[in-house]
Structure 1
Amino acid sequence: MSESKHSEYLKSLVNLLPNQPGVYQYLNEEGVVIYVGKAKDLKKRVASYFTSRRFESKKLLVLVKKIRDIKHIVVPTESDALLLENNLIKKLQPRYNINLKDDKTYPWIAIKNEFFPRVFSTRRYVKDGTKYFGPYTSVTLLRILLDLIKQIYPLRTCNLLLDEVSISKGKYKPCLEYHIGNCKAPCVNYSLIDYYDSSIKEIIEILRGNLVEVVALLKESMLKASEEYRFEDAQSLKQKIELLQTYQSKSVIVSTSISNLDVFSLVFDSNVAFANFMRVNKGMIVQSHNFEIKLQIEEEQESILSFVIAEMYQRLGFISREVVVPFLPDQELPNATYTIPQRGDKLKLLELSEKNAKMFRLEKMKQLEKVDPERHTERILTTLKKDLYLDDLPVHIECFDNSNIQGTNPVAACVVFKNAKPSKKDYRHFNVKTVVGPDDFASMREIVFRRYKRLLDEGAGLPNLIVIDGGKGQLSAAVSSLKELNLLDKIPVVGLAKRMEEIYFPNDSVPLYLDKNSESLKVLMHIRDEAHRFGITFHRNKRSDSFIKSEIKSIPGIGEKTAMDLYSKFKTVKKMREATIEELSAVVGQRRAKIITDYFISTP
């Protein structure tokens, strides 16, 4: 099919779409689904891919070019569309959709769908009616919960296929777990079914974080047992209450005024988003979970947030009536109200969730750096390229810094980073030659000119990015030198000011502010700080050298050449004082050696 006929075919499909909520699927020429999306209005949403000019993403343009067919499913509500989209993405795993890294490596607590249910940990999520709670990123927390449940509720741990018939026929016998008090042996006593049902209901509430209700129920049962003179039962219930209260006291309490709510936050980094989910019950954080989301095309952040909320909805079976979010998602869920807090405890909760997401991002970055350092470096350079609007990856970066104190011993430093790491063998020091007095701008102009004039003369490789330590003034000075060398159009240059870490571009008075946690800003700050450290060290050494030489020259009869010879040999005045006359004579001759020795004796 020609391109024009294919375009007409797609337009005809779009025209047939209804103005109703639903899910659409894009297929390639092999008939494979390459993208799944949801929409409040199918016709408007799908038509925007072919008529709108707002999509500037290259990946999105590639997607549109590969579309050969369109399928759609109409659903009753927007929330149905959201959940159906989530299911189809998991099932079909389209090439251009969000890729949520699932948590198969994280364990769940499972309540098996069977007679006399078992409660155990598992890493397999099987949809057979079993209830799952989690996943738990902390195995320690999971074990604490399972131990707590085991102490309070003596449930079976065997995998026998129990039913009323097999139990009534006496097919099984009590095992050791029964004899040591860890199980009530339902395998020989079917009448325990009511006890099991009530225990499982309480366990579900515990795993959902509803400890207050469970404790209240147990207290009521304890008082009833006490009134009926069943003191052993009352004591057993009291022990259960104490265990639950001990566990509750270790939970993170955020605010006693906050009832039940869920919190979601998102942190973006290049083509990856990191999400955090927290569940708060009776003022306590009872569950927290992190997601890593691979972004295949430039999805809107509202759509990504909707996807994460839908994922948690399906995993946990319900979402709290109030959901705290940093911004409104593009889809609603039934019986849920979104809150964007501006102050108070809910804002603190949202900030805590964002902190967790950022910490999760940091952990993932550290893992990537260890496992695949080349990929880690490429990701950093790609982010830097995007943030600074560069044409090429900044594989080779050079940074300049001036150092002088009241105009004395003016020096400059050039540090070189290759693949986002210091290349110390390429560092260079400069003595400022043509500038008199403390003139940072003139010093910067001279040093930048000398550096790149030499590289051009030697035919050496030029950097992909130049960073100037300073604001608009220092940047303008560097730009004037690059213009003189006809390099301004060949090498991008930016200035990094210290006050607010603002980034300046040539001929632009409005600075760029990157997020304080941005890896791009951290790399630039590292380069700038390294240039400052390298320059200060050189300046300090030079001032020390000048002081030593001037003190030596103050000795009567000692000139410039003799001072230089002494400094080259001994480096410090202290070592000269400690030197014998023979050691001094070996450098400057016997006559001058005696003059120096007499001077040090007379000036202790």
Structure 2
Amino acid sequence: MIDQLHNLPASPGVYMMKDGHGGILYVGKSKNLKQRVKSYFVSSASHSRKTQRLVNNVKDLEIRVTDTEFEAFMLECRLIHELRPLYNKKMKSPHAYVNVVVKTGKNGGRRLELGRGDEPEGGQPSFGPYTASRHTVGKALTRIQESLRIACAGSDGERGPCLNVSLGLCLGGCMGGEAAGEYDRVMDRLIALMEGRDFSLMDDMRREMEEAASEFDFERAAKCRDGIEALTFLLRQEKVISFAEQNRIILLSEPLNERESKLFLVQRHQILYSEKYDRQATDRTRTALSLMKRLQNRAMEETAAGHELTRDEIDGAQIIHSYLRNGTCRHLVLQEAWLEAGGEHDLRQAIESFLAAEAGERESGPG
């Protein structure tokens, strides 16, 4: 294995750490395999106990080089789901993801609680599943409830002010009457926000934060700020689900060097096809026709768009969604009309225009 460490390439890719029997212990990815893999075997006080145990059991390495970091991310994701390595906990766990569920108690009061991402919710409003850890989502949920004063600590079925009413964290839904009505109104607005129907609650939270700060009530301003940040975090995660459910086919381009880029056709949670593209080549029509042929083949074996995302699909969808947002690649969303019969001319024209813009932008550089 010493020879393997010396001969690692300084390129993007995936590494698989194996035990003495060839079993896969861990799958990881890196933009620079040489730098990343060697870091495991350098004695360091910063290594966690888990990492130390892993390194002690590693007897062999397998490397898979990719052209781009994006491919490394996607390959790592697929291999973890296929191989279920011992030390890749999150992606392989059936309980890795959580939902936020609106639960209705015996007295009719509603509360936000954490649920399992693979668990049916019996018709209750449910948001997610979220790919962040249960602890992270739970912390965000607590901040939201405290900020909106719906962190009721009352026992289900009982009426009377809970402890959080006196702490300013509960509007008094547990007391019934007018306070319960206000509690329900806030809960309705929060559900509408989480469902993407009404964002006015977020605007009101920002105004309240600014007013509290202007009145030097910094504790209240901080509560509002924490609630806004937590809501933004959960809404951003929701966007991944929405993105994948749209089931659009996207042409994505990532630069390899001064001359070449790599083109990808992606959909939902996976790469459909990829090829290298010489930006200085003049025959963009040939590349466009090659991509169109792949799209026609894809249409013949089109997967159903209506089914709910599985846990495995969410990971891939999040990688694609994040890559489209981070600005390192260019992309073109292919319109449905272009992919239908009669839309071939518009599709080819759109792809050729994308390739022409790609060549011009990469050659001239930023600014």
Q: TM-score, normalising length from structure 1?
A: 0.23
Ranked by relative contact order (alpha carbons within 8 Å, sequence separation 6 or more), the top structure is: 2
Q: TM-score, normalising length from structure 2?
A: 0.35
